[in-house]
Amino acid sequence: MEIKIIIDGETPQKEHILMSDEPIKFVDAMEQLGLSFYRPCGGIGKCLSCNIQFLYGAPQMTSADEKALDFSDMRAGWRVGCKCVITKDCKIQVPASLAGEITSVLADEVAEDEALDKSNIGIAVDVGTTTLATAIIDLSTGKILRQRNCTNSQAKFGADVMSRVKAAMDGHGEDLKNCIRKDLTDLGNKILGEDFLMHKVVFCGNTVMTHLLLGYTVDGLAQYPFIPYTLDSVSFVEKGRNIFFMPSISAFVGGDIVSGLFYLAMQAKKNNKAQDKFLLVDLGTNAELVLFDGDNYWCSSASAGPALEGASLSCGVASVRGAINHLSINKGKCTYTTIGGEQPIGICGSGIIDLVHELHRNKIIDDGGLLLDEYSESGYPVADGVSITGEDIQQVLLAKSAVHSAIQLLVQEAGLTMEDIDHLYVAGGLGASASVWSAADIGLIPRELASKYESVGNTALLGGIEYILNGDEDILNEIKEKSKVVILNDNPGFEKLFLENLMLN
């Protein structure tokens, strides 16, 4: 049978054709064609949001289709992609929001124009749940020669770490490890070719990602009390290369955070600000937070959910081309910008933060996030085919309350006040793109810290680069030894703060 797949908005428009002699899952067809397919729940049929349209040759409707779609949509050829099995000749249209590559923050001062000396290089790698980020460093000059990112192909096993843990426990541990290794090999060959001499490689990532890459068991991370196989740094020599994995602090405060703290510590040392108090926030499905009080590191992880990354929302998309990333509402008119200046396909995290702020400022939602009656059923329209619903807004309020409450609790546990904090460092892509004043207005961050807000980019990758050039394991050990983990769910004050911070006032 002949399977034709087209991607919405792909320029020039192209038919991707696969021939198959037997029934094949849609996700397998996409993989064989080398196309990415974003499934927020990892294809377990929980979110029911990865819907595709058969222009002809639609398969029989499934129970997942009946749960997710109206009958009229199913008759028009719509199916839940992750549960779809192709059995005959067909043509499928895939929304751009499910097939785009995610954009990421790049480091400053990359010497892309300089010749690449392949004889003496080091590579820093941030193994993210969604994105793999790499930087190539000239060990002689210390310059960053190239930086490239790619989507973590483990995403086919789930968009979050717990989906990956489940997949590993179901017997896919080797597959998960090989996914990242192949991604990195392909990325390296694309940048460097095959004839290069790599002396140092520094990896960092959350605890689950590094365990999977190293082939360690993740069974202990599947349930409380969440015990990792190891939290120590790992180093070894392979084919003449010095390989180093950053240590972790806890099951949910991983080597990516330690790497970021190492980078901030080295920068503070260079600038004679080693005693400055700061709060580091890395926003994501599990927002990781560290408060440095001048001596100790108070660490925690808040379950913010995927709303701030654009996932799980009816209007949400990841930071792909065509995602609405900023907007404003004035005199009833909504204006916006999109990534790449393309037609809007949905709203990513920074756009969601702006939108909730603007809806509240214009009194289209009240302090509890309820929409005006005229929008209560259909949602507030942002662009053609893109609307935000009351349920979407409530998910954002849950996420922002979790982050804000975690910040307040860490400050209390450290015996400080908001005024004592010298810097609010926000890491990652959302930190670089979100409006600080929108974030403060909706209560994602405390207003007292808005003027101290500093976007610091991918601190995990920057820490890996710093360690390649100025490796000092004593500083890493000091960070670990002086870290105090605050478990939010064990603290009776967290629930009270969480309920108080749900409001937008």
Instruction: Tell me the pLDDT tens digit for each residue of 68-83.
Output: 888 888 999 999 998 8
Q: Where are the chain's structural domains?
A: 2-98, 121-245, 259-504
Full-model pTM: 0.81
Same fold flag, 2-98 and 121-245: no
Homologous superfamily (CATH) of 121-245 is: Domain of unknown function (DUF4445) (3.30.420.480)
Beta-carbon contacts of 368 under 8 Å, excluding residues fewer than 6 positions away, are: 502, 503, 504
2-98 folds as Ubiquitin-like (UB roll) (3.10.20)
Contact 393, 356 (CB under 8 A): yes
Q: What is the DSSP string of 371-402?
A: BPGGGTTT-EEEETTEEE-HHHHHHHHHHHHH
Residue 304 has pLDDT above 90, yes or no: no
Q: Which of 162, 222, 152, 157 is nearest to 183 (CA)?
A: 152
Query: What's the pLDDT score for residue 292?
Result: 98
Residue 106 has pLDDT above 60, yes or no: no
Query: What's the pLDDT score for residue 321?
Result: 81
Contact 222, 169 (CB under 8 A): yes
Structure tokens at 345: 């396909």
**17 φ, ψ to 5°?**
-115, 130
- pLDDT band for 452, please (50, 70, 90 cuts): very high
**Quick one: the chain helix, strand, coil %, rounded to 5?**
40, 25, 35
Number of neighbouring beta carbons within 10 Å of residue 296: 13
Query: What's the pLDDT score for residue 98?
Result: 80
Cα–Cα distance, 464 to 233 (Å, whole number)? 13
Residue 41 has pLDDT above 90, yes or no: no
